[in-house]
Chains A and B, each alone.
Chain A
Amino acid sequence: MLEIKNLEVSVEGKKILDNVSLRIKKDEIVALMGPNGSGKSTLAYALMGHPKYEITSGRILLDGKDITEMAPDERARTGLFLAFQYPQAVPGVSMSNFLRTAVNAQRDKPMPVPEFLAKVKEKMALLRMDKSFASRYLNDGFSGGEKKRAEILQMAMLEPKIAVLDETDSGTDVDAMRTIAAGINKVKEDFKTGILIITHYKRILEYVKPDRVIIIAKGKIAVEGGDEVIDMIEEKGYKAFGIDDYEEAQTIL
């Protein structure tokens, strides 16, 4: 279980998240929605330990272990995973090399190649990825859909306890999105991963069914509910919840 307790996060001295508390249990899907600039990605980055996002107060616990002060790699080893909204290209590092290094970083002894190979093939088939994918450089020249599949492939290989998926559906066509959704559901089913899915769209939530829906606005949790919340947003926008237009809301990159 991931417990976020009274989290306050600043970027370059400006407070972005204010007193955010949230729990994501094992085997649970929580959808996080909210207008642009409301702090969704900030939460994702702060959870993973991005140095630019300063946690000024509050704690983050993973299975009771305080990870607030941990470096990102330690958080990953503890079982936290983040699928990036904008995955970075790393020319020179092949996908397969990257995956193997990531998987082995979590283990005492490296996974033998045949075992790794069988596993990666299974996950790539699930995500309908061509085998040639693995020899390409990480995210280098990948299409939007390929990048997001690659993120989910990493998740499937790392078997995290908690996964934060930051707009994994954006930039994907409907077929890629369905494939990605199937991948997410399989990981949850196989490893009882708790999932925080950040999205703007109802569509992915039709395939990855959330147990709870949370709306964040102006850096605070504004609404918590079920499917009815998603329908309301889709129909009437965030105004339905008394959340004004956030045109002027500072967009955080």
Chain B
Amino acid sequence: MDILAEQMYRENIMDYYKNPRNKGKVKDADIEFRDNNPLCGDEIEITVKLDKDKKIAEIKFDGKGCAISQAAASMLTEKILGMKLADVKKIKKDEVLEMLGIPLQPIRVKCALLGFKVMEGGIFLYESRKR
């Protein structure tokens, strides 16, 4: 990875961390889930409102922790807003890591994927309740 790309992706992560998109809590959420990384203390909560086609009509994340965990969660909410739940479930871990754009050490991968994990957990809980 060249120095220019790395620089920009780093700045992009810091931008998401300092100016998070979709931060907060959705009212009357259909999906609500939270999780943390016990080792480093990162916390993420995601709340989602669905429309009648099971598309994500509104999504917010809340939490605290390192820049990677918070930025990745914020990017994830932007990426999946407007998507169908069925399609959200198809998203691979690698796609989430690609959004960050910089190589991560194994311990930081957990941070980067926390939001993704919360979303997975939220969808699972929502679907098992429906049944």
Contact = CB atoms under 8 A, between A and B. Distances in A.
A65 interface: no
Contact of A131 (B2, B9, B11, B12): B2
Nearest to A109: B78
A113 B2 contact: no
A131 B1 CA distance: 12
Nearest to A136: B7
A113 B4 contact: no
Interface secondary structure of B, over-half rule: helix
A135 B3 contact: yes
Contacts of B3: 131-132, 134-135
Interface string A91-119: 00010110010000000000001101100
A134 B11 CA distance: 11
A97 B13 CA distance: 12
B4 A121 contact: yes
A230 interface: no
B40 interface: no
Interface string B85-125: 00000000000000001000000000000000000000000
A83 to B, nearest CB: 22
A96 B101 contact: no
Contacts of B4: 96, 117, 120-121, 124, 131-132, 134-135
A101 to B, nearest CB: 9
Contacts of B7: 94, 96, 134-135
B22 to A, nearest CB: 13
B5 interface: yes
Interface in B15-34: none
A88 B12 CA distance: 24
A116 B8 contact: yes
A203 B87 CA distance: 59
Contacts of B101: 113-114
A150 to B, nearest CB: 14
A121 B101 CA distance: 16
A117 B11 contact: no
Given A113-B9, A117-B5, A135-B4, 5 more contacts: A94-B11, A96-B8, A96-B11, A100-B12, A116-B8
26 contacts: A94-B7, A94-B11, A96-B7, A96-B8, A97-B11, A100-B8, A100-B12, A113-B8, A113-B12, A113-B101, A116-B8, A117-B4, A117-B5, A117-B8, A120-B4, A120-B8, A121-B4, A124-B4, A131-B2, A131-B4, A132-B3, A132-B4, A134-B3, A134-B8, A135-B3, A135-B7
The 4 residue pairs across chains A and B that have the minimum distance between CB atoms: A131-B4, A135-B7, A134-B4, A113-B12
